[in-house]
Structure 1
Amino acid sequence: MTLTPDLLEMLVCPLTRTPLRYDPVAQELVSDAAGIAYPVRDGVPVMLVEEARVLDGGDASDSPSN
């Protein structure tokens, strides 16, 4: 399942308030500004910072410690 462009346009990172990009392979919404990725489970974005995973090279000072 993919996210609609309209939904993706409305979503922002709860941590940085910046736009997100969708990674369909990983089923995640990526916040490049925060260096974290939010999971999309069964087509539903899980927009909780504590559920996000830190990306390689992400800024851990502003990101959750997963």
Structure 2
Amino acid sequence: MVRASIGLLKDAGNGVSKTLSEILVCPLSKLPLRYCEETNSLISEAIGVSFPIKDGIPCLVPKDGKIIEADDMPKTDDAADSSSKHD
């Protein structure tokens, strides 16, 4: 167990480790979260909420989440591809 904890915390200063981001889910929708390097936060695409990461620790308390407006939503490759198909 200690080795697993060390592995999870190894990259704590650099956002969230890949292993940890694969385990975490949105506390509200219970669906996977996406790490956004631009805002250093975890995004719940399902409900449009961004959860901050402070000192490498995800703040997944629902009151810490911020609703993302459509204009503020960071573009992903999927979103860019789907918008170009509609033109």
Secondary structure at the counterpart of residue 50 of structure 2: strand
Give the corresponding residue for 2:16: 3
Q: Which of the pair has the greater relative contact order for Cα pairs under 8 Å at 6+ separation?
A: 1
By percentage of residues, which structure has more strand? 1
Give the corresponding residue for 1:63: none
By percentage of residues, which structure has more helix? 2
Give the corresponding residue for 1:20: 33
State percent identity of aligned pairs: 33
1:23-43 per-residue CA deviation (whole Å, 9 max, x = no partner) reads: 011011000001100000011
Runs of 5+ consecutive residues of structure 2 not aligned to the other structure: 1-13, 71-87
Q: TM-score, normalised by structure 2?
A: 0.63
**How large is the Cα RMSD of the aligned pairs?**
0.8
In the TM superposition, structure 1's runs of 4+ consecutive aligned residues that sit over 4 Å from their partners are: none
- Equivalenced residue count is 57
Contact 2:49 2:67 in 1 (8 A): yes
Q: TM-score, normalised by structure 1?
A: 0.82
Runs of 5+ consecutive residues of structure 1 not aligned to the other structure: 58-66
Give the corresponding residue for 1:34: 47
